Structure 1
Amino acid sequence: MIVFRYLSREVLVTLSAVSAVLLVIIMSGRFIKYLAQAAQGLLDPGVLFLIMGFRLPGFLQLILPLGLFLGILLAYGRLYLDSEMTVLSATGMSQQRLLVYSLAPALLVALLVAWLSLGLAPQGVAGQMRILNEQEALTEFDTLVPGRFQAMKDGSRVTYTQELSEDRGQLGGIFISEKRFSRDGGKERGITVLVAESGRQELQADGSRYLILENGYRYDGNPGQADYRAIQYDTYGVLLPKPSVSGEVSEREAVPTRELFGSDNVRLQSELQWRLSIPLLVFVVTLLAVPLSRVNPRQGRFLKLLPAVFLYMAYLALLIAARGALDKGKIPQSLGLWWVHGVFVLIGLLLLYWEPLRLKWASRRAVREVASG
């Protein structure tokens, strides 16, 4: 029992450290992407942390299996390097027994991953989609920041306002530059520049919004040419386009797990198998990690780390490829993603029993050579 607690603590501590580092790296990358969208006026800066919170379960469900895999490799690799595993082996600790001990923290991680995959992650995706849909309903002036030039995502429009009231209804010191295209939306025909002393938003009965500019000028022409046309106006109406926010999730990812059971839809069945595969992934990577963590103290603890990571990446990549093939109907539902797990279970068993079998064959060969000599 003391050995079991010691090994479990080493694995869980290393798992926590590795998962925290991976989570910070992935969350930072995603946050920078959302921050760039907010800088373009596509997202309200106030919802960035809320979106990241909704995305957290989806990140964790994929980080924790990798964290456990690396945690076992690093923790057991240190024990081999410090000859602690040699001492444990001398007291009867076999690879099979070490695997059984390792399945205890793996079970804890699998339960947590199952909770995330089957429950929290779909809810988080639904929450994220709800926020993005709300952002789609905003106009560029709902996310405008006074004193800063703001470009639409396609770069066809740049907007600036010097002053903006708290209710975002009144603007002052307005500048708008917009590219003009041919009627078929292809060839660019020049730019239109609008400047105005003040402006206000006006909502029409059909739900469209207009910016009513007052006391300003409109300039039409082509950059680099001196044939600009200037028009002075007292009142001018500009249709406010809605920003387009790009999402990273599909609607099926937001479907509650209970609605996936019994569904005849191929894509929903594929989603169900994917959600069930992630907790199963935890046990398979544990089977792979235990024999891969066995290293010679002279070789160092990181000798098998890189090949092990490649093996994990191949496992996950094959799961994703099989999921895509399942979506397209190229793989029968009965076979689904389970064959991928089966292949890597066989690889894990081969790694687990290869060294004992090799030693057994070597000892038999040595006995035969002695007998024949």
Structure 2
Amino acid sequence: MIVFRYLAREVLITMSAVSATLLVIIMSGRFIRYLAQATRGIIDPSVLLWIMAFKIPGFLQMILPLGLFLGILLAYGRLYMDSEMTVLTATGMSQQRLMLYSLAPALLVALLVAWLSLGLTPKGAEQADRILNDQDSLTEFDTLEAGRFQKMRNSDRVTYVESLTKDRTELGGVFISEKRRSEDGTKERGITVLVANSGRQEIHPDGSRYLILEDGYRYDGTPGGAEYRVTKYDAHGVLMPKAEVNADVTDREALSTRALIDSDKPRLKIELQWRLSLPILVFVITLLAVPLSRVNPRQGRFLKLLPAILLYMAYLALLIAVRGALLKGQLPAGIGFWTVHVLFLLVGLLMLYWEPLQLSWKARRSVQEVAHG
């Protein structure tokens, strides 16, 4: 029992450190992408942390299996390097018993991954999608910041204001540049620049919004050309584009597991199989990691690390490829994911029993040689 607690603690501590490092790296990359969208005025900076918080379960369900895999490799590899595993082997610790001890932390991680993939991740994805859909409904006034040039999504207009009231209805020092296009939208027909000392927002009964500019100039022309038309105005109305609102969350990753179980749609059944595959992945990679962690102290603990990572990446990449093939209807839904799991399960069993089989074969051969000698 002491040995079991010691091995489990080593694996879980190493797994936690590796998983935390991977989580920080992945979240940093995703946060930078959202931050770039915020700087372009696509989303409100105040919701960035909420989006990242709701995305964490989805990150963890993919990170924890890899963290466990690397945790077993690094923890057991250190024991082999320090000859601790040699001492345990001399006291009766076989590879099969080591595997049984390793299945305990694997069961804990599998339960956590199942909770994430079947429960928390869909809820987090639903909330994140709702926030992003709400951001899609924002108008130019909702994301406008004083002193910053801003371009709206799918728009040829760039807006700049020197000052902006808190209720975002009164603007000062307005500059708007917009490309003019042909009726079919394929050809540019010049550029229009509007400058005004002040502006205000006006909402009509039909919901359309206008920016009323006051005391300014309008410049129409073609960049590089000499002909420009300059118009001075006391008041000029600019129609603000309406944002496309998608209030319904239809992403299958955001649907609850209960909804997937009750659905007869093939794509939703495939999503359910994918969620169930992640906990199974944990047990299979544990079976792969235990024999791969066995190293010779003379060779170094990191000798098998790169091949092990490549094997794990092949496993995960094959699952993702099968998922894509199933969604395209190229594979039968009943055998897709399970074929991959069985394949790597057999690989793990082969690696686990390969050395005992070799020793048994060599022993029989030696007995035969002595008998015939």
Give the TM-score, by structure 2 length: 0.96
Quote the residue 2:99 is aligned against.
Answer: 99
Q: Matched residues in 2 for 1:261 and 1:65: separation?
A: 24
Query: Is the Cα–Cα contact under 8 Å of residues 134 and 245 in structure 2 kept in the other structure?
Result: no
Quote the residue 2:257 is aligned against.
Answer: 257
Corresponding position: 1:228 with 2:228: yes
Q: SS in structure 2 opposite 1:138?
A: coil
Q: Report the CA distance between 1:203 and its aligned residue.
A: 1.8
Query: Is the Cα–Cα contact under 8 Å of residues 164 and 171 in structure 1 kept in the other structure?
Result: yes
Q: Report the CA distance between 1:242 and its aligned residue.
A: 4.9
Quote the residue 2:65 is aligned against.
Answer: 65
What is the 5 A alignment of 1:293-308?
A: 293-308=293-308
Q: SS in structure 2 opposite 1:261?
A: helix
Structure 2 unaligned segments of length 5 or more: list them: none
Q: Matched residues in 2 for 1:165 and 1:262: separation?
A: 50
Quote the residue 1:5 is aligned against.
Answer: 5
Query: Is the Cα–Cα contact under 8 Å of residues 132 and 245 in structure 1 kept in the other structure?
Result: no
Deviates more, 1:149-158 or 1:46-55: 149-158
Query: Is the Cα–Cα contact under 8 Å of residues 10 and 75 in structure 2 kept in the other structure?
Result: yes
Corresponding position: 1:189 with 2:189: yes
Quote the residue 1:79 is aligned against.
Answer: 79
Q: SS in structure 1 opposite 2:211?
A: strand
Q: SS in structure 1 opposite 2:107?
A: helix
Structure 1 unaligned segments of length 5 or more: list them: none
**Amino acid corresponding to residue 133 of structure 1 in structure 2:** N
- How many residue pairs match? The answer is 371
Corresponding position: 1:149 with 2:142: no
Distance 1:124 1:150, change over 3 A: same
RMSD of aligned Cα (Å) = 1.7
Q: SS in structure 2 opposite 1:174?
A: strand
Q: SS in structure 1 opposite 2:331?
A: coil
Quote the residue 1:161 is aligned against.
Answer: 161
**Amino acid corresponding to residue 296 of structure 1 in structure 2:** N
What is the 5 A alignment of 1:282-361?
A: 282-361=282-361
| Identical amino acids, percent of aligned pairs | 73
Query: Is the Cα–Cα contact under 8 Å of residues 164 and 171 in structure 2 kept in the other structure?
Result: yes
Q: SS in structure 2 opposite 1:294?
A: coil
Q: Matched residues in 1 for 2:303 and 2:352: separation?
A: 17
Q: Matched residues in 1 for 2:61 and 2:244: separation?
A: 29
Q: Matched residues in 2 for 1:301 and 1:155: separation?
A: 55
Query: Is the Cα–Cα contact under 8 Å of residues 99 and 290 in structure 2 kept in the other structure?
Result: yes
Quote the residue 2:279 is aligned against.
Answer: 279
Corresponding position: 1:120 with 2:120: yes
Query: Is the Cα–Cα contact under 8 Å of residues 208 and 242 in structure 2 kept in the other structure?
Result: no
Query: Is the Cα–Cα contact under 8 Å of residues 175 and 196 in structure 1 kept in the other structure?
Result: yes
Q: SS in structure 1 opposite 2:364?
A: helix
Quote the residue 2:365 is aligned against.
Answer: 365
Query: Is the Cα–Cα contact under 8 Å of residues 177 and 191 in structure 1 kept in the other structure?
Result: yes
Q: Report the CA distance between 1:370 and its aligned residue.
A: 4.1
Q: Matched residues in 1 for 2:130 and 2:105: separation?
A: 36
Q: Matched residues in 2 for 1:161 and 1:137: separation?
A: 21
